[in-house]
Amino acid sequence: MAKITLIGAGSVVFAKNLISDILQFPELSDSIIALMDIDPARLETARVMAERVVRKLGAKAKIEATLDRRKAVAGANYVICTIQVGGYKPGTVIDFDIPRRYGLLQTIGDTLGVGGVFRGLRTIPKILDIARDIQEVGAPGCTFLNYTNPMAMLCMAVDHAVGVPMVGLCHSVQGTSQQLANYAGLDSRHVTYRVAGINHMAFFLDYKYRGQDAYPLFFNLLNDPNFTQDKVRFEMMRRLGYFVTESSEHQSEYNPHFIHHGKAVIEKFNIPIDEYLRRCESIISTWKKAEAELIGDDGDIVVNPQTHEYGSFIIHSMETNTPRVIYGNVPNTGLITNLPDRCCVELPVLVDAQGLQPTHVGDLPPQLAAICRTNVNVQELTVAAALTGKREHIYHAVMTDPHAAASLPLDKIWAMCDDLIEAHQKVGLLGEYAPTIPGTGRTRAGTGDKVIVSLEPVKALAGITGEPIEFTVTVTNHGDKPFAGRLAFVSSPVAVTTKGGAVAIKVAAGATVAKRVVFKPAAAAKSLSLRAVSADARVLSRDFAFNPPRIVEVSATAPTPVEVRFMDNKLLTASLAVKKGMLEMSGRVLDTAVKVNEHAPWTASVIEFFLRRANGVGGTHQYFMLPRAKAPTVLTGDRKPTKYAAFKVKIDKGGYDFSLRINLADTKIQAKPGEPFYIDMIVGAEALGDAHGSCRVGWNGKTNGATRSDHFALVVSK
């Protein structure tokens, strides 16, 4: 005598079919049928219905009903799950309403897409609870039969987190096989087929009628103007060469080729937007009628012949050692060799007294594996979010969803997910997830919870003299918890604070605090490296470094070579000289897509120059050289044309040759011959050949800001 438990027995119509399917097998007619639901009224309806089915069939089965899930599972040999977490309201309504506000339309939204992701997030915890009950109180070898969507996500989560024997069951394979037979006018009794892929995106690899390939009949329908059925699925067959197992409604939102392309495409392929909402409302409106038919006053009930649902056949095969092949959703343990390991795959499964024995398929046709992987990405990330509690994986799941990615830019995807998370949490359908850095997909539990410390001298350093140097220590707490601790400072060569020791800091979550600290460098030091350290692992310090300028002697008769490299490319090669108060440089820049942006020069093709007197008087002079084909321009730091510089360019397909002259006397950079002045340079390019995109690189490979303390110094020979 087997104990068979139905979790979600309040889905009474489906439960009736399952129970009557099971009890029509004579070998199972004395089973214990345990019914469990969270809705007492629905559970009572299910109990009355089940009792009537038993009487109608003359079975000896025992019906039990309980609101206690663990009691229902205790001692069970089989647990069948048909739950819907969140129901139509508020769950499904939230899944549709919020995405619609962002312009993302759905048809069914229960398996993939943003609707599938959030249905998965609210359902996975409940499925795992059931699986753990099976593991802890179910009979040895208890098998979990899941009918709940999103099928692949739920089965994958149980496999990763619990690992009880489990199969996901869907009627799409056998249902579609009969649909195809009807479309082509074939007797389904003489049809054979082989299907593999993932749930709702498995494909008929073979479809034969009396041993012959029947696909030509389906392709012939593409040319029949009177045939207007299943337009999305037939369009996908036209493009992929194989017919998919789940409906056109589903396929339209599993792929990026349909809904988001607008009204004309939606109408062309007869895509019913918001279809699942209409179906739910229809079922709700007819519930009273259905209930009356199930438990009417006459005490009778209609029991239909066995359906094509696999659940009863699996139980019968395992109990009687009758071999059968069903199509089930199971972990991919090398079964489909070009889909990811341990993803959930749908394929033939042999069932007998030894249990579930999935069969090896090998490689899918590469185009089918590729389109399956786009769906597996979403499934894996949703499971990762549910199992790790990391909020960022919710964003990642939706951004990799084919339909969402085709419909919305990333900022809207992020905002939509935030709204959905908040709405689900507000009605108790979603637990807490590790918070992320606002506007990002990185959790605070990663680098996002850091307390970042930066140090900058109050006055720009021209050199190290041994005199005290005052620094501003800025502490920003990026975490969601306050920080209170002491910062010590490590330097090379050794420097000490005038107050000698660490600095106490308190920073509220999300706040910034700045303090002044005075350091006295070692007397003989010429350079200084300084950073903050703390016993708190959250503290991350940006090092401050000062190095004395390097002197480059520039001769009027022997120009100095200059080179700026990016990776293995010589981004700029030039020669530099000073002649009669004029700074001169000529050379070539590698840039195969020269573009300029006068309003933000640093974002495009540019040569930036920075000049400063040795004593720092007059500040830093900044120039932007814009390589226009006609009238190349030199702008000052405030983006105004200057009369102190001349710039010429000759642009070709590989970049541009240039010459530059800057009047040092007019800029008062060089006070007198022999006095050094500092120069730095940044080169921006839009593209380097066909291998690298835009780049922005400082002289000598530096990529940080241009007002660093390691500028080159030029001394003009006398």
Give the Cα separation of 589 and 583 in Å (integer).
Answer: 18
- The three-state secondary structure class of 675 is coil
DSSP 102: T
DSSP 260: G
Q: Which residues are catalytic?
A: 171
Half-sphere exposure (Cβ direction) of 318: Cα atoms closer than 13 Å: 25
DSSP 223: T
Give the Cα separation of 142 and 3 in Å (integer).
Answer: 10
Sign of CA dihedral 453, 456, 457, 463: positive
Based on DSSP, count helices (H) and strands (E) in the chain, helices before strands.
19, 33
> Could you give the dihedral angle defined by the CA atoms of residues 414, 420, 426 and 431, in that order, rounded to the nearest 10 degrees?
-80
- Strands 512-521 and 606-613, sheet pairing: unpaired
Question: Do 34 and 64 contact (CB within 8 A), yes or no?
Answer: yes
* Listed residue (577, 564, 677, 660) closest to 620, CA to CA: 677
β partners of residue 324? 351
- At 372, give phi and psi (nearest 5°): -65, -40
- The three-state secondary structure class of 263 is helix
Q: Give the ranges where 401-471 is alpha helix by DSSP (H).
A: 402-407, 410-426
CA dist list (Å): 679 to 588, 592, 623, 716: 19, 27, 11, 13
User: What is the H or E stretch that residue 437 is in?
Assistant: none
Residue 167 identity (one-letter amino acid): V
Question: Do 478 and 454 contact (CB within 8 A), yes or no?
Answer: no
Question: Do 419 and 434 contact (CB within 8 A), yes or no?
Answer: no
Query: What tokens does 302 get?
Result: 């209609």
> Could you give the dihedral angle defined by the CA atoms of residues 631, 632, 635 and 641, in that order, rounded to the nearest 10 degrees?
-20
Order of strands across the sheet that contains 503-507: 503-507, 483-492, 528-533, 544-546
Question: Do 482 and 507 contact (CB within 8 A), yes or no?
Answer: yes
Give the Cα separation of 607 and 3 in Å (integer).
Answer: 79
CA dist list (Å): 607 to 555, 699, 710: 23, 11, 19
- The three-state secondary structure class of 91 is helix
Give the Cα separation of 134 and 139 in Å (integer).
Answer: 8
Order of strands across the sheet that contains 469-477: 495-497, 512-521, 469-477, 451-457, 539-541
Contacts of 697 (CB under 8 A, 6+ apart): 564, 565, 566, 571, 682, 683, 684, 703
Half-sphere exposure (Cβ direction) of 557: Cα atoms closer than 13 Å: 2
